[in-house]
Chains A and B, each alone.
Chain A
Amino acid sequence: SQELEQSPQSLIVQEGKNLTINCTSSKTLYGLYWYKQKYGEGLIFLMMLQKGGEEKSHEKITAKLDEKKQQSSLHITASQPSHAGIYLCGAPSVQGAQKLVFGQGTRLTINP
């Protein structure tokens, strides 16, 4: 079955620094979703990538999908305290499936 591995598991960066989180799939990716979660809250949808080579940006967050490497990366530029939280990648378990499998999450801490 599809498995997603995120790296790093946790990340501490100084405010203003750039950072990258990776999500690697054990099988072919048929789309990739990025979510952010804060403690005690649900998942907030960030971005959806559907095609190899696709890149999307929202404010200071950019996500890319590399189909050949079966990998997606999430890059944050000039990090802010509001970026702190847990970032999760999710993908359809098989092509056309509605149920998602998720990585274990990356806990991001921003130090002032």
Chain B
Amino acid sequence: GAGVSQSPSNKVTEKGKDVELRCDPISGHTALYWYRQSLGQGLEFLIYFQGNSAPDKSGLPSDRFSAERTGGSVSTLTIQRTQQEDSAVYLCASSRDSTSNQPQHFGDGTRLSIL
């Protein structure tokens, strides 16, 4: 597609529920990133996928967070047993590849609110 597409744009759920956030990267981009943006913490890296390599999960805040990237394209970020501190905007980005001279292009994000 023309840009990174994320869905849903907004998600409100009750504490303790599981949520799935979807990211469709720019066509042809092999690298995909998830970030989280919250008022107190700013923009934080969560996880990074590059082709068929093992993902870099070093930014995931707890084992309640997981992500998959099927077929090297669409990615799903799953948060299990959501907590109020999970409320944030979750941003996905993609880049052509993982070399350092490729900028990351961001989607509009999913605004997650935990009641």
The answer to whether B104 and A30 touch across the interface, beta carbons within 8 angstroms, is: no
Q: List 6 A-B contacts (CB under 8 A).
A: A42-B4, A43-B93, A45-B103, A45-B106, A99-B45, A100-B45
In the assembled complex, the Cα of A99 lies from the Cα of B95 at a distance in Å of 11
Query: Does B108 make an interface contact (CB < 8 A)?
Result: yes
The answer to whether B43 and A88 touch across the interface, beta carbons within 8 angstroms, is: yes
The answer to whether A30 and B56 touch across the interface, beta carbons within 8 angstroms, is: no
**Residues of B within 8 Å of A, CB-based: how many?**
26
Our pick among A42, A43, A90, A92 for the contact of B100 (Cβ within 8 Å) is A92
List, in ascending order, chain A residues with CB within 8 A of B105's CB.
45
The answer to whether B107 and A42 touch across the interface, beta carbons within 8 angstroms, is: yes
Q: Please judge, given known A-B contacts A98-B33, A98-B56, A99-B56, whether A45 and B42 are in contact too, CB under 8 Å.
A: no
In the assembled complex, the Cα of A41 lies from the Cα of B108 at a distance in Å of 5
Residue of B nearest to A92 (CB): B100
For window 58-72 of A, CB contacts with B under 8 Å fall at: none
Residue of A nearest to B105 (CB): A45
Closest 8 CB pairs of A and B: A42-B106, A99-B45, A102-B43, A43-B106, A42-B108, A45-B103, A104-B42, A98-B98
For window 92-109 of A, CB contacts with B under 8 Å fall at: 92-93, 96, 98-105
Q: Give me 8 other A-B pairs in contact (C-beta within 8 A), A42-B108, A42-B109 excluded.
A: A31-B101, A41-B109, A42-B6, A42-B107, A43-B93, A48-B101, A93-B45, A102-B42
List, in ascending order, chain A residues with CB within 8 A of B101's CB.
31, 48, 50
In the assembled complex, the Cα of A18 lies from the Cα of B95 at a distance in Å of 32
Query: Does B65 make an interface contact (CB < 8 A)?
Result: no
Query: Does B31 make an interface contact (CB < 8 A)?
Result: yes
List, in ascending order, chain B residues with CB within 8 A of A35's CB.
106
The answer to whether A99 and B107 touch across the interface, beta carbons within 8 angstroms, is: no
Cβ of A39 to closest chain B Cβ, rounded Å: 10
Cβ of A6 to closest chain B Cβ, rounded Å: 10
In the assembled complex, the Cα of A43 lies from the Cα of B109 at a distance in Å of 9
List, in ascending order, chain A residues with CB within 8 A of B33's CB.
98-100
Q: Would you give the 0/1 interface string for A28-63, flagging 1 where the beta carbon is closer than 8 Å to chain B?
A: 001101010000111111001010000000000000
